[in-house]
């Protein structure tokens, strides 16, 4: 299960926060934990370089893309490698939508489209689509090219 | 006013100041959502409003029932628009709003229409939305379409239906299970993701049918799986099948191993890693099987991708726990990871190296870790400290380097948990490695000179009070302790006063000087500190002369409180201030929770200061006090050992009884802990009638009945036996609980009748040879073995006959002898054909015993054992052999 997807700006403000199977009372804790993790480790990290952490049986893969930090939390079958796959799909979709590495402003300008991408990539905690071309077409309700 | 012409994209400051969602407010957005009701829809504007709604929801904002309903109804109006972008947003919005069952009906027909649309993408999205909001009844109506969708030629439609199936399986399993034919077909799909989703769903449908899973795995491992993700799933399912068919592990022809091995050569790293991990986790994996997996993991260690490095080092870390030798080849690569930018990777590398390192590499490793420690967070540091503690216990000769390392990091910045972990480690090392004691105590002394944590200071002072006076030059600690009286808060000052008093009591030559210091504390500003100083000045006696301290005073200072703290607390709470002083003797001594606590933590090692040195022995102390307070047993001499409680009744019976065996030189006392679990009954005159006809060497000498046993208030009754001195006599005892039962009114506790005598059969109890052996560890087995010498060594060989495994044979002999395994030798590496196990203990009569067991597998399952015993008494050495021979 992909437990959480979180986007924050460079000051640690939340831009997108989606939880799956995480009780409401634990969400705030996760939010502050992830933001702190980012603040401690993401400084000076190159765009899209992945960082990993694990806590008990939960894995966290996170990265930075322009002004935006992205966190993916998973457990069980979604271990660090599966999450790396998820975050890779996410970063490439975001870059596609924004046309370049996003600033915070650009990210917010394209907010609706980004929500659609996330909807295509993760569906209630399961990975649904990974290919960037397909996602680009799907958010415009265009069928994939390859079939 | 003229503005300088700036290209918008270049003006980053301006961008950062202005967010499209600046000042967004829920109420205003809900107002805006009214545009959804316009007869002339503006798709662009509607999309913007939906984006704002999504933004609010993604920030954790919630809509109440009325708001959600209103938005939902407005959104449904948007189905009228033909604008594709807007339609896509509408699908997402409906999912986010997750309407209630009575509202769903509004969109059902629109979605059903989309589901049968010629446009594939409408179909896929309608399926996803419908499955998200549907309930069981609606599901049966659309089931037909979903089954078709699973085998649809458009992969997006098929995936939508399959992923919906995975979710619906949780809520409507019986319906989804009917789709297995279609799902089976989808597993063969040429589209990678469809195959992945189909495989996941098919496995979930069949997960309780082992045979079906096995067939699925067999067929897929022979065919081709296109998607790397699906291949990973297949590897996981394969390991599950291997685990469940855990046979033929001996000959090396493990089923599916070849498949796993072939996956190590897959082109996707994800698959390679999954296969490598699967191999390392196989039950009883041999080193031949392990080698190719370790090789690929080693390659990943130097990958440029942090995720791969992390995954590899995490897996190797696990392997190092069971097969440290297999991982040593990777040590060089791992050492370079100590400087990895990702601290999680570095910490895992360090802890793995600490597990696989040998004695000669310790110094080099410590040098590298020192540089590393300064730039990681506390939680990582704690992991490292714990790893160093185990390393030090493994190589006691290296204590100097490791202890120095611990004391150095103790001086650096750090939070409470981290400091506590270090202090705990030092305490454990002091306790287990006698040579490390003096230097360890000095490190702790230096630490309290500048310790910001009251808790740690008081704990260390307590520990110093117990261990410090036993050292060769106790006076050198006094300065550190007395400094606390000047410089610290009241709690620490009071603890320092107690510690000073302990030095005064134990070291007679220091007494006059301690008196001077204690007298100064009489003027302290805090009353607890003054009270303690006064108390100790009076109890120590001798007026400051160099005289031996009374035994009673020592007992008072060092003895453990023989009253359970819980009971004391309850009694103190119930005490009402009056002329009559509080009577400590009136506090009940029954240990209520103790047997339970012991059961919960069998063989748990004391950890640091949390359990002070008196911790493990405090039970014995409590038992000793309890027994010596009973006149009938006061002549039995010193208690040698008390067993853990043995249950004599099943759980949840009317009366719960367990027994503790107390072993003395010439006597054995059974302490029966009884609990009455019936509120309507009061038991009186409770005793246990013991039949010792199968224990010939024992004769009953005394019995102490329990006067009354009310509901839920445990009590004890005792029976004592005499046995020949110094002989580990064994036997079987049958037990019958006898009592007078009275009916009582549960509300008042008053007896309603005169009662009648009744019996209650208990389970049998055995006294075995292990009861005469105390588990006492030695820090360094080889040194102890050499120092005890070969004078009374006895060596013999035994055939243990066919055994299930080497591990089982080793643990059977350990429990037969009841001795302490040393240096982790109780763990038998997987697939070993031979093993050496080292044991230590103290036999009744306080005779130190060391045992070296060498096991070998002889023939298919037969196990042979060579037993070498060294002890301080030849009779004891012979006796150990007798125990093994008759066991």
Domain of B519, CATH number, reads 1.25.10
The dihedral over CA atoms of B460, B465, B470, B472, expressed in degrees to the nearest 10, equals 70
Find out whether B789 and B812 touch, Cβ atoms under 8 Å: no
How many Cβ contacts (< 8 angstroms) between chains A and B?
138
In this structure, are strands B641-642 and B731-743 parallel, antiparallel, or unpaired? unpaired
Q: What is the pLDDT of residues A27-60, one digit of tens each?
A: 889 999 999 989 988 888 899 999 998 877 899 9
Find out whether B342 and B378 touch, Cβ atoms under 8 Å: no
Helix-, strand-, coil-residue percentages of chain B, each rounded to 5: 60, 15, 30
From chain B, pick out residues whose CB is under 8 angstroms from the CB of A15: 58
B 274-303 residues with CB < 8 A to A: 274
Expressed in angstroms, the distance from the first to the final Cα of chain B is: 104
Q: Are A108 and B163 inside 8 Å of each other by CB?
A: no
Secondary structure letter of residue A134 according to DSSP: H
Q: Are B12 and A111 inside 8 Å of each other by CB?
A: no
Low-confidence ranges of chain B (pLDDT < 50): 1-13, 15, 248-251, 592-617
- What is the distance in angstroms between the Cα of A104 and the nearest Cα belonging to chain B? 7
Whether residues B831 and B757 fall in one domain: no
Find out whether A138 and B157 touch, Cβ atoms under 8 Å: no
Contacts of A106 (CB under 8 A, 6+ apart): A66, A98, A100, B15
Q: What is the pLDDT of residues A87-116, one digit of tens each?
A: 999 999 999 999 999 999 999 999 999 999
From chain A, pick out residues whose CB is under 8 angstroms from the CB of B377: 40
User: By the CB < 8 Å criterion, does B60 face chain A?
Assistant: yes
- Is B586 a domain residue? no
d(CA B468, CA B885): 45
Mutate to test the interface with A, among B307, B378, B380, B382 (most CBs of A within 10 A): B307
From chain B, pick out residues whose CB is under 8 angstroms from the CB of A4: none
Mutate to test the interface with A, among B11, B58, B308, B346 (most CBs of A within 10 A): B58
d(CA B503, CA B480): 13
Question: Could you tell me the sign of the dihedral formed by the alpha carbons of B774, B779, B781, B785, in that order?
Answer: negative
Mutate to test the interface with B, among A115, A134, A146 (most CBs of B within 10 A): A115
Nearest to B342 among A51, A104, A129 (CB): A51
Encoding tokens for residue A100?
Answer: 């370049």
- What is the distance in angstroms between the Cα of B121 and the nearest Cα belonging to chain A? 5
- H helices of B521-630, in order, are 527-540, 551-558, 565-574, 594-600, 614-628
Chain centre distance of CA A129: 13
Q: What is the DSSP string of A111-128?
A: HHHHHHHHHHHEETTEE-
Domain of B353, CATH number, reads 1.25.10.10
Q: What is the pLDDT of residues B320-360, one digit of tens each?
A: 888 888 888 888 898 889 888 887 888 889 888 888 877 77
Secondary structure letter of residue B702 according to DSSP: E
User: By the CB < 8 Å criterion, does B167 face chain A?
Assistant: yes
Domain of B694, CATH number, reads 2.60.40.1480
Encoding tokens for residue B671?
Answer: 């302490």
Nearest to B16 among A18, A83, A105 (CB): A105
Find out whether B822 and B777 touch, Cβ atoms under 8 Å: yes
d(CA B432, CA B780): 9
Rg value, chain B, Cα? 37
d(CA B800, CA B238): 37
Which CATH number fits the domain A2-138, given the four candidates 3.40.50.300, 2.40.50.140, 3.30.450.60, 3.60.15.10?
Answer: 3.30.450.60
Which of B767, B783, B808 terminates a domain? The answer is: B767
Whether residues B643 and B761 fall in one domain: yes
d(CA B344, CA B364): 21
Q: Are A116 and B92 inside 8 Å of each other by CB?
A: yes
Q: Are B16 and A109 inside 8 Å of each other by CB?
A: no
Query: Can you tell me whether residue A9 is helix, strand or coil?
Result: coil
Task: Name the residue in chain B with its Cα closest to that of A123.
Answer: B163
User: By the CB < 8 Å criterion, does B55 face chain A?
Assistant: yes
* The residue to which tokens 């997960």 are assigned: B207
Query: Can you tell me whether residue B863 is helix, strand or coil?
Result: strand
Encoding tokens for residue B724?
Answer: 């020949």
Indicate left, alpha or beta for B98 from its phi (over 0: left) and psi (-120 to 50: alpha): left
d(CA B389, CA B381): 12
Q: Are B21 and A127 inside 8 Å of each other by CB?
A: no
Q: Are A147 and B21 inside 8 Å of each other by CB?
A: no
- Is B18 a domain residue? no
C-alpha neighbours within 13 Å on the C-beta side of residue B601: 11
- Is B385 a domain residue? yes
Query: Can you tell me whether residue B855 is helix, strand or coil?
Result: strand
Residues, chain B: 887
- Is B134 a domain residue? no
Contacts of B10 (CB under 8 A, 6+ apart): none
Secondary structure letter of residue A23 according to DSSP: -
Q: Are A112 and B47 inside 8 Å of each other by CB?
A: yes
Angle formed at CA B158 by CA B152 and CA B160, multiple of 5 degrees: 145
From chain B, pick out residues whose CB is under 8 angstroms from the CB of A105: 15-16, 18-20
The domain segmentation of chain A, as residue ranges, is 2-138
Element (H, E) at B751: none
Report the 3 state secondary structure along B24-58: CCHHHHHHHHHHHHCCCCCHHHHHHHHHHHHHHHH
Q: Are A140 and B311 inside 8 Å of each other by CB?
A: no
List C-alpha distances in Å: B508 to B197, B539, B549. Answer: 79, 14, 7
Which of B296, B327, B357 terminates a domain? The answer is: B357
Element (H, E) at B2: none
Nearest to A112 among B51, B87, B156 (CB): B51
Contacts of B267 (CB under 8 A, 6+ apart): none
From chain B, pick out residues whose CB is under 8 angstroms from the CB of A126: 163, 166-167
d(CA B796, CA B780): 24
Whether residues B516 and B542 fall in one domain: yes
Q: Are A111 and B119 inside 8 Å of each other by CB?
A: no
Encoding tokens for residue B846?
Answer: 């306080």
Residues, chain A: 147
Q: Are A140 and B270 inside 8 Å of each other by CB?
A: no
User: By the CB < 8 Å criterion, does B170 face chain A?
Assistant: no
- What is the distance in angstroms between the Cα of B413 and the nearest Cα belonging to chain A? 17
Parent domain of B398:
359-452
Encoding tokens for residue B515?
Answer: 């008196």
Report the pLDDT value the prediction gives residue B879, as an integer from 0 to 100: 85
Whether residues B682 and B735 fall in one domain: yes
Q: Are B60 and A124 inside 8 Å of each other by CB?
A: no
Find out whether B454 and B489 touch, Cβ atoms under 8 Å: yes
Secondary structure letter of residue B329 according to DSSP: G
Report the pLDDT value the prediction gives residue A92, as an integer from 0 to 100: 94
Mutate to test the interface with B, among A52, A91, A113, A121 (most CBs of B within 10 A): A52
Whether residues B793 and B864 fall in one domain: yes
Element (H, E) at B427: helix B416-432
Nearest to B84 among A82, A106, A141 (CB): A141
Report the pLDDT value the prediction gives residue B296, as an integer from 0 to 100: 95
- Is B794 a domain residue? yes
Whether residues B749 and B632 fall in one domain: yes
Whether residues B693 and B776 fall in one domain: no
- Is B6 a domain residue? no
From chain A, pick out residues whose CB is under 8 angstroms from the CB of B85: 140-141
Encoding tokens for residue B591?
Answer: 């240990």
d(CA B623, CA B713): 18
From chain A, pick out residues whose CB is under 8 angstroms from the CB of B21: 108, 111
Whether residues B302 and B425 fall in one domain: no
User: By the CB < 8 Å criterion, does B20 face chain A?
Assistant: yes
pTM, 2 dp: 0.61
From chain A, pick out residues whose CB is under 8 angstroms from the CB of B87: 141
List C-alpha distances in Å: A99 to A5, A92, A109, B546. Answer: 22, 10, 12, 88
Report the pLDDT value the prediction gives residue B263, as an integer from 0 to 100: 93
Q: Are B155 and A147 inside 8 Å of each other by CB?
A: yes
Query: Can you tell me whether residue B711 is helix, strand or coil?
Result: strand
**For residue B527, with 0-12 CB atoms within 10 Å meaning exposed, 13-18 middle and 19 or more buried, which class applies?**
exposed
Task: Name the residue in chain B with its Cα closest to that of A137.
Answer: B121
Among candidate residues B382, B464, B443, B392, the one with its CA nearest the CA of residue B415? B382
Task: Name the residue in chain A with its Cα closest to that of B190.
Answer: A147
Among candidate residues B172, B240, B237, the one with its CA nearest the CA of residue B202? B237
Whether residues B649 and B721 fall in one domain: yes
- What is the distance in angstroms between the Cα of A140 and the nearest Cα belonging to chain B? 6
Encode B9-21: b = buried (16+ Cβ within 10 Å), e = exposed.
eeeeeebeeebee
Q: Structural domain tally of chain B?
A: 5
Q: Are A41 and B343 inside 8 Å of each other by CB?
A: yes
Secondary structure letter of residue B787 according to DSSP: H
Report the pLDDT value the prediction gives residue B592, as an integer from 0 to 100: 46
Report the pLDDT value the prediction gives residue B309, as an integer from 0 to 100: 93
Domain of B871, CATH number, reads 3.30.310.10
Angle formed at CA B296 by CA B294 and CA B297, multiple of 5 degrees: 60
Task: Name the residue in chain A with its Cα closest to that of B18.
Answer: A105
Find out whether A122 and A5 touch, Cβ atoms under 8 Å: yes
Task: Name the residue in chain B with its Cα closest to that of A118.
Answer: B92
Beta-bridge mates of residue A54 = A59
B 92-131 residues with CB < 8 A to A: 92, 95, 119-122, 125, 128
d(CA B165, CA B182): 11
Find out whether A7 and A121 touch, Cβ atoms under 8 Å: no
Task: Name the residue in chain B with its Cα closest to that of A129.
Answer: B193
Which of B704, B736, B767 terminates a domain? The answer is: B767
Report the 3 state secondary structure along B131-169: HHHCCHHHHHHHHHHHHHHHCCCCHHHHHHHHHHHHHHH
Element (H, E) at B307: helix B306-322
- Is B334 a domain residue? yes
Find out whether B205 and B180 touch, Cβ atoms under 8 Å: yes
Whether residues B642 and B754 fall in one domain: yes
From chain B, pick out residues whose CB is under 8 angstroms from the CB of A141: 84-85, 87-88, 119, 121-122, 125
Whether residues B381 and B309 fall in one domain: no
**For residue B346, with 0-12 CB atoms within 10 Å meaning exposed, 13-18 middle and 19 or more buried, which class applies?**
buried
- What is the distance in angstroms between the Cα of B427 and the nearest Cα belonging to chain A? 27
User: By the CB < 8 Å criterion, does B187 face chain A?
Assistant: no
Whether residues B383 and B513 fall in one domain: no
Mutate to test the interface with B, among A141, A142, A145 (most CBs of B within 10 A): A141
């Amino acid at each position: 299960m992909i437990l959480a997807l979180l986007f924050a700006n460079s000051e640690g403000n939340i831009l997108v926060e989606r939880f799956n199977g995480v009780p409401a009372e634990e969400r705030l804790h996760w939010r502050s934990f992830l933001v702190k993790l980012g603040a401690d480790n993401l400084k000076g990290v190159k765009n899209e370089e992945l960082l990993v952490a694990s806590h008990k049986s939960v894995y966290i893969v996170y990265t930075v893309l322009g002004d935006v930090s992205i966190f993916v939390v998973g457990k069980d079958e979604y271990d660090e490698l599966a999450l790396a796959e998820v975050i890779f799909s996410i970063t490439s979709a975001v870059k596609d939508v924004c046309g370049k590495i996003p600033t915070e402003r650009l990210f917010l300008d394209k907010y609706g489209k980004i929500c659609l991408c996330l909807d295509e990539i993760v569906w209630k905690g399961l990975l649904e689509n990974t290919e960037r071309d397909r996602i680009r077409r799907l958010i415009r309700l265009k069928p994939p090219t390859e079939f | 006013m003229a503005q300088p012409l700036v290209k918008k994209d270049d003006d980053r400051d301006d961008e950062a100041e202005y967010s499209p969602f600046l000042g967004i407010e829920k109420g205003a957005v809900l107002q805006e959502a009214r545009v959804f009701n316009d007869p002339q829809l503006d798709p662009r504007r509607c999309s913007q409003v939906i984006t704002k709604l999504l933004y609010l929801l993604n920030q954790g904002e919630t809509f109440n029932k009325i708001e959600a309903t209103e938005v939902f109804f407005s959104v449904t109006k948007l189905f009228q628009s033909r604008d594709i972008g807007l339609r896509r947003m509408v699908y997402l919005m409906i999912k986010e709003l997750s309407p209630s069952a009575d509202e769903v009906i509004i969109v059902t027909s629109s979605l059903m229409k989309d589901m049968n649309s010629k446009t594939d993408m409408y179909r896929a999205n309608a399926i996803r939305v419908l499955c998200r909001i549907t309930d069981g009844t609606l599901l049966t109506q659309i089931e037909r379409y979903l089954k078709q969708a699973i085998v649809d030629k458009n992969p997006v439609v098929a995936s939508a239906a399959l992923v919906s199936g995975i979710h619906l399986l949780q809520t409507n399993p019986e319906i989804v299970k009917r789709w297995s034919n279609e799902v089976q077909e989808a597993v063969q799909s040429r589209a990678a993701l469809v195959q992945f989703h189909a495989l996941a769903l098919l496995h979930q449908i069949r997960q309780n049918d082992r045979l079906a899973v096995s067939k699925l795995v067999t067929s897929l491992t022979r065919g081709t799986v296109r998607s790397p993700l699906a291949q990973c799933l297949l590897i996981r399912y394969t390991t599950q099948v291997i685990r469940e068919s855990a046979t033929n592990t001996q000959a090396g022809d493990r089923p599916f191993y070849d498949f796993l091995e072939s996956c190590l050569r897959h082109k996707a790293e994800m698959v390679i890693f999954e296969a490598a991990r699967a191999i390392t986790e196989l039950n009883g994996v041999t080193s031949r099987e392990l080698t190719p997996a370790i090789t690929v993991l080693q390659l990943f260690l130097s990958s440029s991708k942090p995720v791969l490095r992390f995954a590899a080092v995490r897996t190797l870390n696990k392997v190092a726990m069971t097969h440290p030798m297999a991982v040593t080849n990777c040590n060089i690569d791992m050492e370079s990871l100590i400087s990895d930018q990702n601290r999680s990777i570095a910490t895992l590398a360090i802890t793995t190296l600490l597990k696989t390192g040998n004695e000669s590499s310790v110094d080099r490793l410590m040098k590298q870790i020192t540089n590393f420690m300064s730039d990681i967070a506390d939680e990582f540091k704690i992991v490292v400290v714990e790893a160093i503690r185990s390393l030090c216990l493994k190589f006691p000769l290296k204590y100097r380097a490791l202890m120095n390392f611990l004391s150095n990091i103790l001086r650096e910045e750090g939070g409470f948990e981290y400091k506590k972990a270090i202090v705990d480690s030092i305490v454990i090392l002091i306790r287990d490695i006698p040579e490390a004691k003096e230097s360890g105590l000095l490190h702790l002394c230096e630490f309290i000179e500048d310790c910001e944590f009251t808790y740690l200071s008081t704990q260390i002072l307590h520990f110093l009070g117990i261990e410090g006076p036993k050292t060769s030059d106790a006076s050198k600690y006094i300065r550190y302790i007395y400094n606390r009286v000047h410089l610290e808060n009241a709690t620490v000052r009071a603890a320092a006063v107690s510690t000073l008093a302990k030095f005064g009591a134990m070291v007679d030559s220091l007494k006059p000087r301690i008196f001077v210091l204690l007298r100064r504390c009489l003027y302290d500003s805090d009353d607890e500190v003054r009270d303690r100083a006064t108390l100790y000045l009076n109890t120590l006696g001798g007026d400051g002369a160099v005289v031996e301290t009374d035994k009673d005073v020592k007992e008072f200072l060092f003895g453990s409180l023989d009253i359970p703290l819980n009971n004391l607390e309850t009694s103190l709470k119930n005490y009402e201030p009056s002329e009559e002083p509080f009577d400590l003797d009136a506090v009940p001594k029954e240990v209520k929770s103790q047997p339970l606590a012991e059961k919960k933590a069998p063989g748990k090692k004391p950890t640091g200061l949390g359990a002070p040195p008196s911790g493990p022995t405090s039970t014995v102390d409590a038992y000793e006090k309890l027994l010596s307070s009973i006149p009938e047993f006061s002549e039995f001499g010193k208690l040698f050992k008390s067993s853990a409680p043995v249950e004599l009744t099943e759980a949840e019976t009317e009366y719960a009884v367990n027994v503790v065996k107390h072993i003395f030189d010439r006597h054995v006392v059974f302490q029966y802990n009884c609990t009455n679990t019936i509120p309507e009954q009061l038991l009186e005159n409770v005793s246990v009638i013991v039949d010792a006809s199968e224990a010939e060497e024992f004769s009953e000498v005394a019995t102490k009945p329990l006067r009354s046993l009310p509901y839920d208030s445990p009590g004890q009754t005792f029976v004592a036996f005499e046995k020949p001195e110094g002989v580990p006599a064994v036997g079987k005892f049958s037990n019958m609980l006898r009592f007078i039962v009275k009916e009582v009114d549960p509300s008042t506790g008053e007896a309603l009748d005169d009662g009648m005598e009744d019996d209650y059969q208990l389970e049998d109890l055995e006294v075995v040879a292990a009861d005469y052996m105390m588990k006492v560890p030695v820090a360094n087995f080889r040194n102890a073995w050499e120092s005890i010498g070969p004078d009374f060594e006895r060596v013999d060989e035994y055939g243990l006959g066919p055994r299930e495994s080497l591990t089982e044979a080793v643990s059977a002999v350990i429990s037969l002898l009841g001795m302490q395994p040393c240096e982790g030798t109780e763990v038998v590496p997987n697939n070993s054909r031979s093993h050496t196990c080292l044991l230590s203990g103290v036999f009744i009569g306080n005779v130190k015993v060391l045992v070296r067991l060498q096991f070998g597998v002889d023939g298919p399952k037969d196990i042979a054992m060579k037993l070498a015993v060294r002890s301080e008494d030849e009779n004891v050495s012979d006796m150990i052999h007798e125990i093994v021979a008759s066991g």
